[in-house]
Amino acid sequence: MGLTKKKSIKPQLTLRIFLWGLVDVIGMLLLSVGAVHFIYGPGKIFQSFPATGGEAAVMLLVGIGIMIYAAGNILREMLKQPHLTGDDEPAA
């Protein structure tokens, strides 16, 4: 009467998930460039961009938005995989 370990279910990496992951990385880069402007001042990564706090704030917000959008699409693509949702199991 031991505990049975549940089988580990892993998502399959598809081309769409990979591409959405790249979009997520772009969002992280935008977020990072905007954050570096506020932490270390202008010109630490690129010489003249972002030049103002407004540009840096827009980069932060756009980066966060892109990351949230990409993460949602990654999850949506993963939910299309039947072995993750249990749709491939026979009815009992």
* Over residues 13-39, mean pLDDT: 95
Tell me, what's the pLDDT at 51?
85
Most trustworthy range by pLDDT among 4-8, 43-47, 75-79, 80-84: 75-79
Q: What is the mean pLDDT of the chain?
A: 87
| Helix (H), strand (E), coil (C) string for the chain | CCCCCCCCCCCCCCHHHHHHHHHHHHHHHHHHHHHHHHHHCCCCCCCCCCCCHHHHHHHHHHHHHHHHHHHHHHHHHHHCCHHHHCCCCCCC
pTM above the 0.85 mark?
no
Tens digits of residue pLDDT in 32-75 = 999 999 999 887 888 888 888 999 999 999 999 999 999 999 99
